[in-house]
């Protein structure tokens, strides 16, 4: 059974409501139809019902059973505006400003649904930039109590590949933290290990990547990763991790044994932590496009499951992220 098939099976065990605010994008309509057919989530599509159903008819997408909410007509607008004004009061948010935002921005309306407990999670980003999507998520949902930062991970399922966990590899951060400090990099490693184990059910083996392996190069960039590994080992002793490691030393057994003998991670890493966003963004797109991998992105560290998509995502990847969001919602509810 593939990674996403396992996630779909888990999602079916306890159906979650997932908000999809980007009804103007055909992929949203098609993904909603897919999860309805697969019975993996209860999607809530935001927008005008006549426009959504017209798109569904044009795409031959069966939306039987879907919930459609028009934020401009919702009876919950005042409730959400009151809550948003309370959350952002110190930033000058008033009820009137909050109401105007909620009426005019489906993404903010959807995030308020999650914040208020009227939906279990949200998936967006097919036609929003990561910055536009993440800003209200971080302002409204905020990070989980035990986390100081959020990060974005990608779970890859790479065909005909033995690296990682039989071709399954998690990479982070690939879309949020521009240049994390050593402390932030250490937390990203811990977040990513927890995500991998929660979604895959296998022990995480975390490699902090660099252009150097165990002192083969001398540079402040190397120093940052070395310090991050030191902090991570002290702060998260239960996480199996190592670094600094070059990519080949991290995932290829014979190279890992040669470059980092005695490392508990070298040659067998299934979680790859990039030193900065430039490396992470380039790296994940190389894996996705050249490796022809299925790529499923999700946010880590938030207090509720709100997930960002790559604007280049396929319908299948969007539907997969909906399922991941549903499983995250199940886990968060179980841990309360």
In contact, 111 and 306? CB cutoff 8 Å: yes
CB-based burial, 70-98: b 16+ in 10 Å, e otherwise: bbeebebbeebbebbbebbeeeebeeeeb
Rounded CA gap, 80 and 72, in Å? 12
Q: Is the dihedral of CA 239, 240, 244, 248 positive or negative?
A: negative
The rounded average pLDDT for each run of 10 residues, N- to C-terminus, in the chain (336 residues) is: 90 96 95 96 97 97 95 96 95 95 95 96 85 87 88 92 93 92 97 94 96 92 96 97 96 96 96 97 93 89 90 88 95 84
**Three-state secondary structure readout of the chain:** CCHHHHHHHHHHCCCCEEEECCCCCHHHHHHHHHHHHHCCCEEEEECCHHHHHHHHHHHCCCCCCCEEECCCCCCCHHHHHHHHHHHCHHHCCCHHHHHHHHHHCHHHHHHHHHHCCCCCEEEECCCCCHHHHHHHHHHHHCECCCCCCCEEEEEEECCCCCHHHHCEEEEECCCCCCCCCHHHHHHHHHHHHHHHHHHHCCCCEEEEECCCCCCCCCCHHHHHHHHHHHHHHHHCCCCEEEEEECHHHHHCHHHHHHHCCCCCCCCCCCEEECCCHHHHHHHHHHHHHCCCCEEEEEEECECCCEEECCCCCCHHHHHHHHHHHHHHHHHHHHHC
Closest CA to 318 of 49, 33, 57, 65: 33
* Tokens (6 digits) for 123: 């998936």
Residue 194 neighbours by CB distance under 10 Å? 18
In contact, 187 and 147? CB cutoff 8 Å: yes
Q: How many CA atoms lie within 13 A of 55 on its CB side?
A: 20
Give the model's pLDDT for residue 295.
85
Give the model's pLDDT for residue 197.
94
The distance from CA 219 to its chain's CA centroid, rounded to whole angstroms, is: 31
Q: Is the dihedral of CA 7, 13, 14, 18 positive or negative?
A: positive
Give the model's pLDDT for residue 128.
77
Give the model's pLDDT for residue 55.
96
Rounded CA gap, 25 and 59, in Å? 11
Residues 6+ apart with CB under 8 A from 94: 85
Q: State the greatest distance between any 2 C-alpha atoms of the chain, in Å, as a whole number.
A: 64
């Amino acid at each position: 059974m593939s990674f996403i098939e396992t996630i779909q099976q888990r999602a079916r065990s306890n159906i979650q409501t997932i908000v999809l605010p980007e009804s103007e994008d055909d992929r949203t309509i098609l993904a909603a139809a897919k999860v309805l057919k697969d019975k993996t989530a209860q999607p809530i599509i935001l927008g005008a019902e006549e426009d959504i159903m017209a798109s569904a008819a044009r795409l031959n997408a069966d939306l039987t059973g879907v919930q459609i909410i028009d934020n401009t007509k919702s009876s919950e607008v005042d409730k959400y505006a009151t809550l948003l004004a309370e959350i952002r009061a110190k930033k000058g948010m008033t009820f009137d400003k909050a109401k105007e935002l909620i009426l005019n921005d489906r993404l903010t309306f959807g995030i308020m649904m999650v914040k208020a407990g009227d939906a279990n999670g949200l998936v967006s980003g097919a036609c929003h930039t990561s910055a536009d999507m993440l800003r209200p998520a971080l302002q409204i949902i905020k990070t989980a109590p035990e986390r100081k930062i959020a990060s974005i991970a990608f779970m890859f399922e790479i065909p005909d590949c033995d690296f990682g966990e039989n071709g399954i590899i998690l990479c982070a951060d690939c879309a949020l933290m521009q240049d994390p400090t050593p402390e932030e990099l250490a937390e990203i490693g811990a977040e990513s290990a927890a995500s991998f184990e929660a979604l895959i059910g296998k022990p995480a083996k975390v490699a902090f990547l660099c252009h150097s392996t165990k002192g083969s190069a001398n540079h402040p960039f190397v120093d940052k990763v070395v310090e991050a590994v030191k902090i991570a080992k002290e702060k998260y002793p239960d996480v199996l991790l190592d670094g600094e490691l070059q990519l080949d030393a991290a995932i290829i057994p014979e190279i890992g044994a040669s470059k980092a003998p005695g490392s508990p991670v070298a040659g067998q890493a299934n979680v790859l932590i990039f030193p900065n966003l430039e490396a992470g963004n380039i790296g994940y797109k190389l894996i996705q496009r050249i490796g022809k991998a299925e790529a499923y992105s999700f946010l880590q560290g938030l207090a509720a499951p709100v997930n960002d998509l790559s604007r280049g995502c396929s319908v299948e990847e969007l539907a997969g992220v909906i399922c991941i969001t549903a499983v995250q919602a199940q886990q968060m509810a179980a841990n309360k």
